[in-house]
Structure 1
Amino acid sequence: MKTGTTLTYLASVKHRRSNKDLISQAFRRFRHKDVVELASLENGLNVLELWHGMTYAFKDLAISCVGQLLQYFLEKRKKQVTIVVGTSGDTGSAAIESVRGVDNVNIIVLLPSGRCSPIQELQMTTVIEDNVHVFAVDGTSDELDEPIRNVFADTEFVKRHNIMSLNSINWTRVMVQVAHHFYAYFHCSPSMKETPLPVVEIVVPTGAAGNVTAGYIAQTMGLPIRLVAAVNENDIIHRTIQNGDFSLADSIKPSLAPSIDIQEPYNMERIFWLLSGKDSVLIKTMMEEFQKLGKANVPEALSTKLSQAFSSSTVNDENVIETMLRCWKENQYLLCPHSAVAVSYHYQQMDLGTNSIPRCCLATAAAAKFPEAVLKAGLTPEIPPEIRALETMDTRCTVMKRGEDWEKILYHKIEEVNALRKS
């Protein structure tokens, strides 16, 4: 995809911009000329690399687009906004990159201290632009979501300070991610001339379930795909798909794939709503029960529809290491641990002799972001200079200690950045 030049963009920034201009600008910093790339490997393994953006993760694709749309409408309406983001690893850095240095935007990011990979954390804490505010929270990604959720529930406060999110709770994120699945289908389908069109299976490493929700929406638009939600030992989505067990485990298990160490996948609410025929009363009751009790009763009819719409798989760290090592031995191809969660499913099906249809595994991050996992697999990390440089850069973040009132701190920070903006 041609991106045009930065000079052309800057010359036209004060004039009306077309959709093509916005998308071109969103992707101008991607390292691959086609933005994404399909790696066709041995034994029918197709890996769709979605990680050629600024932070080496697939979140760059959607969030870069959302960032451009946001800036366009803020300029047009002469408004300012405060973005509040909770991250398990990749969302925070992608969100920061999409708006760093933008005059009419402040962004506040909460990350789970010590639960991201060191590189993921550095990608956030080394950004020192005045509009970027990073908090390292002494808790899990689910725990830090709670004060954010409470702030967004305060509608008067949200309206007064013009607060928004760039997590996949933001519908625009999911909307852009629908394109991933069409791209995967068109590049992995054996034929576009058959009637009906052949089916392609798409395997999605799944945390908060935004990308797999986008896949389901693509499916309802008529795209002939089967969806597999691939998770690690934090397997609430797998349990829900397999037997309707939508309940929290006792704790989040830190894993080699930290970006999907999530137990409260908020996009499941969207999936339930779509599958229920948009029964808002039922889904509201279910989600309120889940928030109150840590579990919710999934009606049998809804559970059946869910298991018909999705397959799922779960793997542990040992499986992830085995998959990374096998993929290297067979292809000399390095997988990140999240992508290995998806590829592990492919190997399982291959070993069972059930490779009956084409399959595409979504690669959600580059292995370079997770050198510790690569080393555990007995392989050699390939770390680009821009990532290695993070280790020598100054860092800046504020610690939220366990026992402190995180919600109060977040309220205060939002008020502080908006007061500074007004002054």
Structure 2
Amino acid sequence: MRYLSTRGLPDDPRPTFSDILLEGLAPDGGLYLPESYPRLDAATLASWRTLLETGGYAALAHAVLSLFVDDIGSDDLRGICERAYNDTVFSSPEIVPVSPLSGGLWLAHLSGGPTAAFKDLAMQLLGQLFEYELERRDQELNILGATSGDTGSAAEYAMRGLPRVRVFMLTPAGRMTPFQQAQMFSLDEESIVNVAVDGVFDDCQDLVKAVAGDLDFKRRYSLGAVNSINWARLVAQVVYYVAAWLRVTSADDERVSFCVPTGNFGNIMAGHIARMMGVPIDTLVLATNENNVLDEFFRTGVYRVRGASETHATSSPSMDISKASNVERFVFDLLGRDAARVRELFGVRLPRDGFFDLSGTPEFASLRERFGFVSGSSTHADRLATIAAVWARDGVLIDPHTADGVGVAASFAEPGVPMIVTETALPVKFAETIAEAIGREPERPPRFAGIEDLPRVVVPLPNDVRALKTLIAERVPA
């Protein structure tokens, strides 16, 4: 299995999985994807159903990842999966259990990890992969990432204690919930550097890309990525689409749909990959909040990023994103993997004009038929009503981002086709909104007791590339 960049030329070198694991962005500014997606036959799908039942989630992860990773020995990869996915790390031995809701909906529970968010499912694997590959190469890695709420804490809890890894995590100052801030900023470890940027998440993401784009600086300080621009994180998420489909169905040709709350398009991009591989997915429903750049694109064909003043601070803050990195990967597939067109759109038009328009293209006209995508958006009032309704009707308490998904899913549910909503986090991370919806705060798992009262360690930083480079240079030993 070899990989290419969404902006690459036909004669570009094709790196292996382990090569791109430590890279993040491709040198040309594009994002890595496999040269082609593996195709699943009926026998493989049937074998995976048996494998999940007998070997559990780690065994399924090993089988799925083996299709994309052929430069790590099978036994070593199996060990990596077993260390990442077990009931000492996750709260349920199923890792990703499912449960029914009213109206033909299902919840895929993705919040059982150390930081109570779906990001743990990819980050725990990524931490194990980093440790393995850095040991094999006798190297160190300085991770530079950006978070709108959950990626940062998941990365830091997965990477802390790894002797060859240091983490620089950028956050938008004042934009996360008190719980999210406490979860990250209370980590007082030399290898973890939390940075509060004077700006919104998109500013943080732009800083990461700008530094990663300076190839000399990137190599000098051994910079890598844990955001969903990193292919390894994305492919880890494919596994839970397979697991959720298997757990909701009883026949190997039974189709399901997924509704995915998303801001940076990484989570639903993994669903797209699963569908392209041949997992029987009917519809992929994209759900956004008031920051509806992605919903607008899938409805109209116009992808228009918003500036900081147009990016709303909402009650589902992890989706307060107006520049979705992973949409470039999907557009690459949408346009028949035409790297020249992708370079023009994302390397020229978007930076110059702030938007591009595919509405008149035949590719966009056939988007629903070819790729199964539909979309919708949710407001604060919508998510409050959804949280209250699900609690009253099903006795299940969901977080605001999951509520965005449940609310949008209801518009696209079809009789006879299970609609699986990918849960994003435990409600405790968003207690203020939960209290507004149902009149009381959610129960708090004992491991999170008093977290907001812990001392905090965070570095304030202006929205300036030079300031970020100076910080990295000061913290990384020469």
TM-score after normalising by structure 1? 0.90
Matched residues in 2 for 1:25 and 1:62: separation? 13
Matched residues in 2 for 1:371 and 1:316: separation? 18
User: Which position in structure 2 is the counterpart of 1:137?
Assistant: 197
User: Which position in structure 1 is the counterpart of 2:17?
Assistant: none
Matched residues in 2 for 1:405 and 1:347: separation? 40
Matched residues in 1 for 2:212 and 2:151: separation? 18
SS in 2 for 1:158: helix
Equivalent in 376, 381, 396 of residue 333 of structure 1? 396
SS in 2 for 1:176: helix
Structure 1 outlier segments of 4+, above 6 Å: none
Query: Cα distance, 1:31 vs. partner?
Result: 1.3
User: Which position in structure 2 is the counterpart of 1:285?
Assistant: 344
> What is the one-letter code of the residue matched to 2:344?
T
The answer to whether the 8 A contact 2:406-2:421 is kept is yes
Residue 408 (str. 1) matches residue 466 (str. 2): yes
User: Which position in structure 2 is the counterpart of 1:187?
Assistant: 247
Matched residues in 2 for 1:128 and 1:36: separation? 30
The answer to whether the 8 A contact 1:119-1:387 is kept is no
Between 408-417 and 200-209, report the one with greater CA deviation. Answer: 408-417
Once the two structures are superposed, the pairs formed by residues 43-54 of structure 1 within 5 Å of their partners are 43-54=103-114
Residue 21 (str. 1) matches residue 103 (str. 2): no
Equivalent in 311, 329, 334 of residue 252 of structure 1? 311
User: Which position in structure 2 is the counterpart of 1:213?
Assistant: 269
The answer to whether the 8 A contact 1:202-1:359 is kept is yes
Once the two structures are superposed, the pairs formed by residues 340-379 of structure 1 within 5 Å of their partners are 340-349=403-412, 354-379=414-439
SS in 2 for 1:47: strand
CA RMSD of aligned residues (A): 1.9
Equivalent in 389, 392, 405 of residue 450 of structure 2? 389
Residue 238 (str. 1) matches residue 329 (str. 2): no
Equivalent in 170, 183, 191 of residue 110 of structure 1? 170
Residue 155 (str. 1) matches residue 218 (str. 2): no
User: Which position in structure 1 is the counterpart of 2:374?
Assistant: 311
Q: Deviations over 1:124-147 (max 9, x none)?
A: 100011100001112110012222
SS in 1 for 2:196: strand
Matched residues in 2 for 1:136 and 1:371: separation? 22
Query: Cα distance, 1:327 vs. partner?
Result: 0.1
Q: Deviations over 1:161-212 (max 9, x none)?
A: 11011000001111111112111211223533xxxx2321101111100111
The answer to whether the 8 A contact 1:231-1:313 is kept is yes
Residue 302 (str. 1) matches residue 363 (str. 2): yes
Between 79-88 and 339-348, report the one with greater CA deviation. Answer: 339-348
Query: Cα distance, 1:60 vs. partner?
Result: 0.3
SS in 2 for 1:241: helix
| CA shift in 2, pair 1:383/1:212, >3 Å | same
Query: Cα distance, 1:302 vs. partner?
Result: 2.7
Matched residues in 1 for 2:279 and 2:123: separation? 23
SS in 2 for 1:18: helix
The answer to whether the 8 A contact 1:272-1:302 is kept is no
Query: Cα distance, 1:2 vs. partner?
Result: 8.5
Matched residues in 1 for 2:405 and 2:419: separation? 11
Matched residues in 1 for 2:220 and 2:136: separation? 20
User: Which position in structure 1 is the counterpart of 2:8?
Assistant: none
Q: Percent of pairs identical after alignment?
A: 30
| CA shift in 2, pair 1:259/1:379, >3 Å | same
> What is the one-letter code of the residue matched to 1:273?
F
Q: Deviations over 1:64-98 (max 9, x none)?
A: 10110010010111100100010010000011011
User: Which position in structure 1 is the counterpart of 2:69?
Assistant: none
User: Which position in structure 2 is the counterpart of 1:268?
Assistant: 327
Aligned length: 400
> What is the one-letter code of the residue matched to 2:466?
K
| CA shift in 2, pair 1:2/1:360, >3 Å | closer
5+ residue gaps, structure 2, are: 1-55, 59-73
Residue 199 (str. 1) matches residue 258 (str. 2): no
Between 183-192 and 358-367, report the one with greater CA deviation. Answer: 183-192
Matched residues in 2 for 1:349 and 1:151: separation? 41
| CA shift in 2, pair 1:405/1:276, >3 Å | closer
| CA shift in 2, pair 1:305/1:159, >3 Å | farther
5+ residue gaps, structure 1, are: 4-15
The answer to whether the 8 A contact 1:286-1:297 is kept is no
Matched residues in 2 for 1:198 and 1:25: separation? 31
